[in-house]
Amino acid sequence: MDAMAATAAATAAALGGEISMTNKTRRREIFAARPSNASPKSGNQSLCCSKSSPTYIQEFESRSSADEVRREILSCYDLVQKLGRGAVYLGSARTKPDHPHFLQAMELGREVALLLGCTSWCGAGPGLMDAATKGALEAGKPVGGFRIHNEGGVWTNTLSHPYMVSGTYLTCRFFSARKHGLVDAGVRNAPSDRTAFLALPGGVGSLDEIFEVLTLIQLRRIGSSFPVPFLLINYDGFYDHLLEFLATCREWGTVAEGEVEALWRVCRNNSEALDYLAEFYSISDRRSSMRSFENSLQS
């Protein structure tokens, strides 16, 4: 962790300052011990009901105009401009550090950062996002992220990240702004740019992001001047049923033959993912970067 902290601090120093967001309206949190069948109060609320626990109500002051969303999107773009585009990771916020997928994602984050030599981006939350971030920091490469107040079904009061330094992430109020930032972080504006979208195992939020990126690539609305590799990381067959569903869509005629396959690459493990990225970017010896990293640890 000391090495990661040192790398994070060095990244912040290189930025030359903290990026701050204007957020005049602060959210109010209310824990209400109400029965699960009680009707919600009127107002601008998000209501989560559970039979075994008190109802949790999340209230937000109404945004005064669309300009608030616009300003937050522009703040996300500014952060991408400062840190540089790179590898964007999508994945579960619920995966625990002792899960095999966490360890695999951490290794992937490290090796992709070494291979592409780029900034690593994610939602700056827990779970597999945390794993990819730690891997990139372990490789000594910059990281960036766009946080949201609710990750993995858990709300947080804090705007800060446990170890990423200020100036390397934003805590977004609007989910749409966060998505804009994550997409912008993965586009390519020059042939020399090395970026990628990597979809790790995840739940509803990850699937939302996966299909949004997939659709933007399909419709050529991703905003990229050059092709961007999109990898579905299918650890232990996690996404097998999703792939079966897409095959069913093809049988029913709602997806064209070969349409989805042309949009992404399904990888069963880290080795397949790294081989594909090396092939995509014509990197002759992907193992040389790993050897250099190992040598630096020994010196």
pLDDT of residue 160: 82
pLDDT of residue 270: 98
Give residue-wise pLDDT tens across range 263-278. Answer: 999 999 999 999 999 9
The confidence band for 37, taking pLDDT boundaries of 50, 70 and 90, is very low
Instruction: Decide if pLDDT at 55 tops 60.
Output: no
Instruction: Decide if pLDDT at 148 tops 50.
Output: yes
CA-CA distance, 81 to 187, in Å (whole number)?
A: 12
Contact criterion met (CB below 8 Å) for 188 and 195:
yes
The confidence band for 159, taking pLDDT boundaries of 50, 70 and 90, is confident
Tell me the pairing of strands 86-90 and 55-59: unpaired
Supply the angle between the helices 100-116 and 286-298 in degrees, to the nearest 10: 100
Give residue-wise pLDDT tens across range 206-248. Answer: 999 999 999 999 999 999 999 999 999 999 999 999 999 999 9
Give residue-wise pLDDT tens across range 162-215. Answer: 899 999 999 998 999 999 999 999 999 999 999 999 999 999 999 999 999 999
pLDDT of residue 33: 32
Instruction: Decide if pLDDT at 11 tops 80.
Output: no
Instruction: Decide if pLDDT at 284 tops 60.
Output: yes
pLDDT of residue 183: 98
Helix (H) or strand (E) holding 116: helix 100-116
pLDDT of residue 155: 58
Cβ atoms within 10 Å of 32's Cβ, excluding its own: 12
Instruction: Decide if pLDDT at 98 tops 70.
Output: yes
Mean of the pLDDT values across residues 121-150?
95
The confidence band for 285, taking pLDDT boundaries of 50, 70 and 90, is confident
pTM of the complete model:
0.78
CA distances from 292 to 86, 275, 297 (A): 20, 18, 9
Whole-number average pLDDT of the chain:
82
Mean of the pLDDT values across residues 140-148?
96
